[in-house]
Amino acid sequence: MEPVSKRAKQLISSKAERFTESVIREMTRQAMLYGAINLAQGFPDFAAPEEIKRAAQEAIAADINQYAITWGAKPLREAIARQMQKWQGIAVDPELEITVCCGSTEAMIAVMLAITNPGDEVVIFEPFYENYGPDTVLSGAQPRFVKLHPPVGDGEWQFDERELRAAFNDRTKAIILNTPNNPTGKVFTRSELEVIRDLCLEFDVLAITDEIYEHIIFDRAEHISMARLDGMRDRTITINGMSKTYSVTGWRVGWAVAQPVLTNAIRKVHDFLTVGAAAPLQAAGAVALSLPDLYYQNLATSYGARRDRLLPTLRQAGFNVFVPRGAYYIMTDIARFGYDDDVSFARHLVKDVGVAVVPGSSFYSNPRDGARQVRFAFCKRDQTLDAAAERLRKIG
């Protein structure tokens, strides 16, 4: 009889063996194990807005506790459409073009499963949010990675147009674009988006845009949705959600917006993945999307202050920092600390210093490319950031 372990391994799909568990979530477990301050996983440690918490409580009390329509409660879909028109000037049909999912993470895999076939290729900028590669593999497609090159001096993360063009071919089905970007904090400019747009049109490719950080931008940067650009309205799938803008990462309410033919396919996949997102939280989402403009202005201002609170701490501790223009992460270079790789350095930080970070290698297809980088999250209270600063002085 074969050993159980060997037989069990034979039962595992080849897809599941092509990627690891989330490094980000593992670093949260490490933070809990060692009593470290968690600057790894991107969840706020401060309260969500009172208005939306109250709206969720009232929805539960009003017995909005059964299934919503599979593709999303009507008030939430109408609020999403209204706000996309207001913020980006994009007219959306809430009945035919919006699918509410269990977070933007489910929206992404639902989209990938809905549009890709075996042999298709998906272009992904790296460093990338760690779900994109596994999502491509799980959907049967092949990822094609294109580098975002680190800033020089006070510059920005940049892609080489020739490298991007080389990634496109007759097998390319889609490109995933995350702006503002996790982990780099890059906000793609209009001219950069136009380069991507032109390639999408030339090669008949879809753009899947993850815009979850759209309201967290700094230094007069502007968030531009790809769907706004000429020629891209019907070939863009826009993914977004409540987690980051409203500090409710545990609610898992997100959405995908696409032209009707694509939406029909996304809705079918979504239905059999999760049926639907939590009904009372969708009701609260409609309230959240009705918050006044001042809320979003204060959101960006408060996160900008947190960024500026952490940046000097990291510089003083010896990190070379890449200043983000959006999102709530800071990528850093750790070359001066003399560690062989980012994983051993992150292990030292969490165990010996008491601060958890994410090893940079988890954001690259080839771990060596991120072996001199780690990512800090600054979506934390001032007290948390100050406590982390005190501990980071121990690095030496």
DSSP, residue by residue, 7-32: HHHHTS-TTGGGSPSPHHHHHHHHHH
Look up residue 182 and give its two tokens: 């996790």
Report pLDDT for 42: 83
Q: For residues 80 and 71, give the distance between their C-alpha atoms in angstroms, rounded to a whole number.
A: 13
DSSP, residue by residue, 264-294: HHHHHHHHHHHS---HHHHHHHHHHTT--HH
Confidence grade of residue 278 (pLDDT, cut at 50, 70, 90): very high
Residues 302-310: what's their mean pLDDT? 98
208-217 residues labelled b (16+ CB within 10 A) or e (exposed): bbbbbbbbbb
Residue 171 has pLDDT above 80, yes or no: yes
**Considering only 4-13, 102-111, 211-220, which range has the smallest mean pLDDT?**
4-13
Q: Is 101 exposed, middle or buried (0-12, 13-18, 19+ CB in 10 A)?
A: buried
pTM of the model: 0.93
Residue 209 has pLDDT above 90, yes or no: yes
Nearest to 108 by CA among 136, 80, 82, 87: 136
Residue 153 has pLDDT above 80, yes or no: no
**Considering only 113-117, 322-326, 350-354, 382-386, which range has the smallest mean pLDDT?**
350-354
Residues 303-312: what's their mean pLDDT? 98
Residues 259-272: what's their mean pLDDT? 97
* Residue the block writes with tokens 């539960």: 60
Q: Which residue has the higher pLDDT, 33 or 276?
A: 276
Residues 225-247: what's their mean pLDDT? 97
Residue 27 has pLDDT above 80, yes or no: no
Report whether 350 contacts 28 (CB < 8 A): no
Report pLDDT for 41: 85
Residue 72 has pLDDT above 80, yes or no: yes
Q: For residues 34 and 201, give the distance between their C-alpha atoms in angstroms, rounded to a whole number.
A: 50
Confidence grade of residue 6 (pLDDT, cut at 50, 70, 90): low
Residue 9 has pLDDT above 80, yes or no: no
Look up residue 162 and give its two tokens: 């020739």
Residue 1 has pLDDT above 50, yes or no: no
Report pLDDT for 177: 98
Residues 355-367: what's their mean pLDDT? 93
Q: For residues 48 and 37, give the distance between their C-alpha atoms in angstroms, rounded to a whole number.
A: 20
